[in-house]
Amino acid sequence: MKRLQWSTGRESSPLPLKEPEDLELPVLEEVDCDFTVALAGNPNVGKSTVFNLLTGLRQHTGNWPGKTVTRAEGTFRTERYRYRVVDLPGTYSLLANSADEEVARNFLLFGSPDVTVVVLDATSLERNLNLLLQILEITDRVVVVVNLMDEAKRKGIDLDIPGLESDLGVPVVPMAARRRQGLDRLIRVIENTATGKVSRRPRPLIELPERLEKPIRRAADDLQRLYPGLKQSRWIAMRLLGGDEQVLRALSVGDPLLSAVSAGTQQSAGGKPSPQASELDRLQRNIERLRYELGPDYEDLLVEAVYRAASRIAERRTVHSTRPRHEWDQSLDRILTSRLWGYPIMLLLLVIVFWLTISGANFPSSLLSGLLIDRVYPFLRAIMGSVGSPEWLSGILVDGVYLATAWVVSVMLPPMAIFFPLFSLLEDFGYLPRVAFNLDHLFRRVGAHGKQALTLVMGFGCNAAGVVATRIIESPRERLIAIITNNFSLCNGRWPAQILLASLFIGSLVPAYWAGLISALAVVGVALLGILLSFAVSWFLSRTMLRGEVSHFTLELPPFRPPNLWQTLYTSIIDRTVIVLWRAVVFAAPCGAVIWLIANVKAGDRPLAEWIIEALDPFGLALGLNGVILLAYIVAIPANEIVIPTILMLTTLTTGLGSPTGHGVLFEAESVGEFQRIFTAGGWTLLTAINVMLFSLIHNPCSTTIYSIYKETGSRKWTLVATLLPVLLGFLVTFMVARLWHWLAPPGF
Amino acid sequence: MAIVIGILLAISFGVCIWLFQSRRHPAGLVPYPSSEQQERILVEHALKFLLEAEQDGNIASTEQLERRLGLSAGAGKQLEEALAERGLLDRAGGSGEPVLRLTPNGRDYARHVIRTHRLWEKYLADHTGLDESEWHIRADSLEHELTPEQTDRLAARLGHPTHDPHGDPVPSLLWKETASKGRPLESLEPGQGARILHIEDEPTHVFRRIAAKCLAPGMTVRLISRSEEGCLIETEGRREHLSREEAANVTVGDPLPKDQVSTGMVPLSCLAPGRKAVVRIVSRALRAPERRRFLDLGLVPGTQVTVELPAPSGDPVAYRIRGTLVALRRDQAAHVLVELLPEAA
């Protein structure tokens, strides 16, 4: 009889069935330290503030092995000891439903920290206690930090700290980390806990319903028999009954990890031999049977029990005094989200932000370009000349690399330096989630999340920053939609081109006193078109490519808090402006070199640029553009800011007009007349201008944004989609407009 | 020339879309399985059928096999040959019709296929946004794609689930049971309540109708009345009418004592601003990713909720849950069943 044949499953399995990661004991770098401190807590409770307070600058970030979860580690010392602090990812529980929870759980269970500091939010104790109670099942070397005490005081919430301490059986340290209050006491308590000076009186806090209690106790007893040194047998039993793969595997492997755990609790099992395979087998069978009898409700019942205990403790130890402050918050909320005032307020704030950005950026922009381009640039040329460098070298370095970078910086920096801090102020205050709240119904209809409104507006500052900002959207599908459509927000770098073309070509169609208004309206129209497109593409994506992706909606409305002005300015400048600027420079520099090269390197007797333009012209004309424009967009992928200067440069190159600064050197025309002269020489018509405005809105994202998309999604496929979708759409739109134009308008227009 | 370019653009657009169609998720029906794969599919379907028959206590015949798998007259015999050759089938002789019986190997194989099918359904339910009506049909195709090792890895990834989203147990090495226990819904007396244990996923069109009424395993239902056309049930604060066909596909557990069948609950979405309530049930009809978020937020039975702030358009609404203000959309809040607290004086 033929042997039982398993035909091999498809090699390219549709499911990412990668090998379950080997249970890695998190390997920390070899740093000399006496104790290891783990820092845990919910997201947004000020855990990082505490971490920064403890470690100051002595910290570095990286990734947890095999995961994309960031990991921060640092050190601090007291008089007698050195401590290493590991900042665990912020999680709501340890049930290991996500990579974050898995990392935190693994470290606490298998990494055996000497002290675990759990940071709670004083204003939301009930919810935070969930994680703490789960941690207390694993280890009792815990120090509880109740942070944001200043917030609590403001809201009239009073906590009975000594009572909390007696309930939990571990030390509790109240802190207001933002104001550095409580730090000394925390360090003292950590030291006392690490050295064993503090007496811990852990007690069972979670009362389980009988239906769960019996099987858990059975399993825990069985475990304890096999591993006498095990202190967390109850928690491990809970996880085993929950089908936790890693704990199960640790069990079946039998030895290394669980012994490590037993050893880690510093009660050496002495000479006890490891459990027999048959005993392990029997344990596994028992557990399997218990699991099937418990059924799929297990996890729910467990979490309910933990929350019940958390409620009880929080209720007992919290005293609310109804102070007017709390009601002030509520009245403000009612106004901001009312039918009458909600939308007008939003619109007004948006207009103010944009107006401040545009008008505020003009002066610094001209200052910067005056400095970098009018002063430093000739200076650099002079130096190169005096040093005797060959023309091509100074060409590439100064005319190419330096000039392009200087251009990008002077155009990009001032608006961002204004836009982002303004945005961050609103965010800090707590207003932005209300915007998402008000607009969610619009976004829901196209399958997106209300928070996309925020990333969309952010994209008007800079698309790369908008893409990074999508981290606020937790749901994977909605996040992808926000990332892919962000490009349709008209970013800062594209405004100058839009304004220029609108005033030159559209404003000139109407009498002079209307010109300003009409060209402004044209630009606004393009921006609105971009928003409409982002809705349309969102709808399209959610119906086709992203159908079936996981999606869930949550939106938290944090309490209003007075924004910390200097801190906000500092973080928004460092986090958003400088980092994006840095990436832009990194991409713009080589781009500048390329631009100079294609204009100056000759193939045959004509510069490379001319050959390429000639090849692209037919395609360009069919789109209502031309070869020069297409080449400019290709070459200027790194930065939208230099598209117009590149077009000017290439036009003068190909039409033999002669540029004021030399071959292949970017420049900006001095007057309206000069612009018009160059554009006319290049064969531009009204159609060209309109299509360039449209294409500028609907083309591939700049390379900084592409890079950001890749870092945020971690997927080549989606980066490709995000890059190609807009440009293909752009070709389609310009093509159709050109066809329509030629069909409707008489030639010669 | 321009027209050519236009057509090329449109084609490339279309190609790109087709290329990137949800490839990540199981594509469902494999368009052109090789002949080897086709044979495997037949074999595995036959095994499933035979195991089912065994568990129902029926004796399977070649005719039934042919009918169930849609085979022509002679093909059934061929299939049995193939199965016997592989050591999966015992054809106990005797006068008249040979009796088809699975060997232990055959049973194991059959269980593997069923296990794979149910694990895939669990994956689709918990880790994708696909509709309930698509789970069964996609799992039906995917069940033939994995080896036992790959199936185990899938189970590990899902946390070794014991039941699939229809309420059927997932067979494993130690748990051989594949049928779910319980009694038909219509066996309840009017006024009695019980928990839904299982909803039959075939025929698909019936399942779709049941799913559209937001019924899922784990929910408690109370039978209000029975008639020739069907029955009326109450669950989670609403009433649903089920046809006889639909009711026949719903299996429930033993009747529960009166106090365990909660009544008087309303969906959270019905409450006006200012009302307070206590959560009693977070419906099983809510998909797993969303339930996990609710757990994170502390929205579990026993939690007190205050309705605070509607958005200008009425949806979403902000609720105060454990001290935090959280916005939920109407369709989410409809799945949270609460008990109203009396208004404060």
Whose CA is closest to A314, among A152, A167, A186?
Answer: A167
User: Tokens 């069978």 belong to which residue?
Assistant: A285
Neighbour count for residue B324 (Cβ, 10 Å): 19
Whose CA is closest to A194, among A36, A15, A43?
Answer: A36
Higher pLDDT, B171 or A579: B171
User: Which whole-number Å values give the CA distances from B291 to A298, A554, B278, B287, B303, in the listed order?
Assistant: 14, 11, 17, 6, 15
Cβ B24–A441 below 8 Å, yes or no? no
Cβ A550–B303 below 8 Å, yes or no? no
Cβ A244–B174 below 8 Å, yes or no? no
Backbone φ and ψ for A218, nearest 5 degrees, come out as -60, -50
Whose CA is closest to B24, among B148, B194, B138?
Answer: B138
Number of CB pairs < 8 Å for A and B?
235
Cβ A13–B293 below 8 Å, yes or no? no
Cβ A1–B6 below 8 Å, yes or no? no
Cite the DSSP H helix spans in A86-242: 99-110, 125-138, 149-154, 161-168, 183-194, 210-226, 233-241
Contact A134, B295 (CB under 8 A): no
Q: Is B104 on the interface with A (CB under 8 A)?
A: no
Rg (CA), chain B: 25
Residue B28 scores a pLDDT above 50: no
Task: Give the rounded percent of residues in chain B with a pLDDT score beyond 90.
Answer: 11
Measure in Å the smallest separation between the Cα of B1 and chain A Cα atoms: 8
- Counted residue by residue, chain B has a size of 345
Helix, strand, or coil (residue A666):
coil
**Which residues of chain A have a CB within 8 Å of the CB of B312?**
337-339, 342-343, 438
CA dist B203 and A453 (Å) reads 43
pLDDT of A606: 81
Measure in Å the smallest separation between the Cα of B198 and chain A Cα atoms: 12
pLDDT of A534: 94
Degrees, nearest 5: CA angle A717-A719-A722: 110
Name the residue facing A441 among B130, B293, B313 (closest C-beta). B313
pLDDT of A17: 46
Cite the DSSP H helix spans in A474-543: 476-485, 495-501, 512-543
Which residue of chain A comes nearest to B28, CA vs CA?
A14
Measure in Å the smallest separation between the Cα of A199 and chain B Cα atoms: 31
Name the residue facing B129 among A17, A550, A555 (closest C-beta). A550
**Which residues of chain B have a CB within 8 Å of the CB of A245?**
156-157, 159-160
Measure in Å the smallest separation between the Cα of B316 and chain A Cα atoms: 7
pLDDT of A407: 80
Contact A137, A234 (CB under 8 A): yes
Cβ A550–B24 below 8 Å, yes or no? no
**Which residues of chain A have a CB within 8 Å of the CB of B23?**
14
Q: Is B301 on the interface with A (CB under 8 A)?
A: yes
pLDDT of B45: 87
Whose CA is closest to A601, among A391, A402, A407?
Answer: A391
**Which residues of chain A have a CB within 8 Å of the CB of B329?**
440, 444, 553
Measure in Å the smallest separation between the Cα of A96 and chain B Cα atoms: 10
Cite the DSSP H helix spans in A395-489: 403-429, 432-445, 452-461, 463-469, 476-485
Cβ A728–B16 below 8 Å, yes or no? yes
Contact A519, A507 (CB under 8 A): yes
Backbone φ and ψ for A253, nearest 5 degrees, come out as -60, -30
**Which residues of chain B have a CB within 8 Å of the CB of A310?**
298
Neighbour count for residue A347 (Cβ, 10 Å): 10
Which of B21, B44, B322, B332 to mutate to test binding with chain A, by most A CBs within 10 Å of its CB? B322
Higher pLDDT, A396 or B163: B163
Backbone φ and ψ for B320, nearest 5 degrees, come out as -95, 115
In SS3 terms, chain B reads as CHHHHHHHHHHHHHHHHHHCCCCCCCCCCCCCCCHHHHHHHHHHHHHHHHHHHHHHCCCECHHHHHHHHCCCCCHHHHHHHHHHHCCCEEEECCCCCCEEEECHHHHHHHHHHHHHHHHHHHHHHHHCCCCHHHHHHHHHHHCCCCCHHHHHHHHHHCCCCCECCCCCECCCCCCCCCCCCCEEHHHCCCCCEEEEEEECCCCHHHHHHHHHCCCCCCCEEEEEEECCCEEEEEECCEEEEEEHHHHHCEEECCCECHHHCCCCCEEHHHCCCCCEEEEEEECCCCCHHHHHHHHHHCCCCCCEEEEEEECCCCCCEEEEECCEEEEECHHHHCCEEEEECCCCC
Cβ B297–A127 below 8 Å, yes or no? yes
Name the residue facing A127 among B130, B150, B324 (closest C-beta). B324
Residues 6+ apart with CB under 8 A from A666: A399, A403, A404, A407, A592, A595, A642, A645, A646, A648, A649
**Which residues of chain A have a CB within 8 Å of the CB of B145?**
9-10, 13-14
Name the residue facing B298 among A126, A245, A735 (closest C-beta). A126
Contact B334, B269 (CB under 8 A): yes
Q: What is the mean pLDDT of residues B28-36?
A: 61
Contact B46, B65 (CB under 8 A): yes
Cβ A14–B26 below 8 Å, yes or no? yes
Which residue of chain A comes nearest to B160, CA vs CA?
A243
Question: Cα-Cα-Cα-Cα dihedral of B281, B282, B284, B286, to 10°?
Answer: 150
- Counted residue by residue, chain A has a size of 749
Helix, strand, or coil (residue A143):
strand
Neighbour count for residue A321 (Cβ, 10 Å): 9
Q: What is the DSSP letter of A178?
A: G
**Which residues of chain A have a CB within 8 Å of the CB of B25?**
14, 548
**Which residues of chain A have a CB within 8 Å of the CB of B10?**
732
pLDDT of B302: 86
CA dist A304 and A308 (Å) reads 6
pLDDT of B316: 92
> Residue B134 is which amino acid?
E
| Chain center to CA of A624 | 38
pLDDT of A271: 44
- Please list the rounded mean pLDDT of every run of 10 residues in chain A (749 residues): 38 44 51 85 86 78 63 85 89 80 82 89 88 88 92 84 90 89 91 81 78 89 81 83 77 52 42 65 85 85 88 86 65 88 90 86 84 83 82 79 82 84 85 92 92 92 88 88 94 87 85 82 90 94 84 85 77 73 80 83 82 86 87 86 86 74 69 82 87 93 90 88 92 91 72
Q: Which helix (H) or strand (E) holds A325?
A: helix A324-336
Residue B86 scores a pLDDT above 50: yes
> pLDDT digits over B101-118, tens only?
888 888 888 899 999 999
Residue B328 pLDDT class (50, 70, 90 cuts): very high
Cβ B20–A721 below 8 Å, yes or no? yes
Residues 6+ apart with CB under 8 A from A391: none
Contact A726, A701 (CB under 8 A): yes
CA dist A371 and B113 (Å) reads 73
Name the residue facing B322 among A127, A337, A440 (closest C-beta). A127
Contact A25, B158 (CB under 8 A): no
Q: Pairing state of beta strands A172-174 and B304-310? A: unpaired
Cβ B309–A124 below 8 Å, yes or no? no
Neighbour count for residue A311 (Cβ, 10 Å): 21
Q: Is B61 on the interface with A (CB under 8 A)?
A: no
Which residue of chain B comes nearest to A477, CA vs CA?
B129
Residues 6+ apart with CB under 8 A from B259: none
Name the residue facing B295 among A244, A296, A303 (closest C-beta). A303
Cβ A7–B36 below 8 Å, yes or no? yes
**Which residues of chain A have a CB within 8 Å of the CB of B8?**
none
Q: Pairing state of beta strands B266-267 and B250-252? A: unpaired
Helix, strand, or coil (residue A172):
strand
CA dist B61 and B50 (Å) reads 9
CA dist B201 and B185 (Å) reads 15
Whose CA is closest to A413, among A370, A455, A461?
Answer: A461
Mean per-residue pLDDT of chain B = 82
Whose CA is closest to A697, among A649, A737, A654, A748?
Answer: A737
Measure in Å the smallest separation between the Cα of A289 and chain B Cα atoms: 7
The token duo for A8 is 């091999």
Contact A401, A593 (CB under 8 A): yes
Helices A627-635 and A643-655 cross at an angle (nearest 10°) of 140
Residue B261 pLDDT class (50, 70, 90 cuts): confident
Residue B98 pLDDT class (50, 70, 90 cuts): low
CA dist A583 and A586 (Å) reads 5
What long-range pairs does B199-207 form, CB within 8 A, spacing at least 24? B199/B166, B199/B167, B199/B249, B199/B250, B199/B251, B200/B166, B200/B249, B200/B250, B200/B251, B201/B135, B201/B136, B201/B166, B202/B136, B204/B133, B204/B136, B204/B137, B206/B245, B206/B246, B206/B249, B207/B132, B207/B133, B207/B136, B207/B249
Which string of DSSP letters, residue by residue, matches A289-316? HHHHHHGGGHHHHHHHHHHHHHHHHHHH
User: Which whole-number Å values give the CA distances from B281 to B54, B132, B277, B330, in the listed order?
Assistant: 38, 21, 12, 16
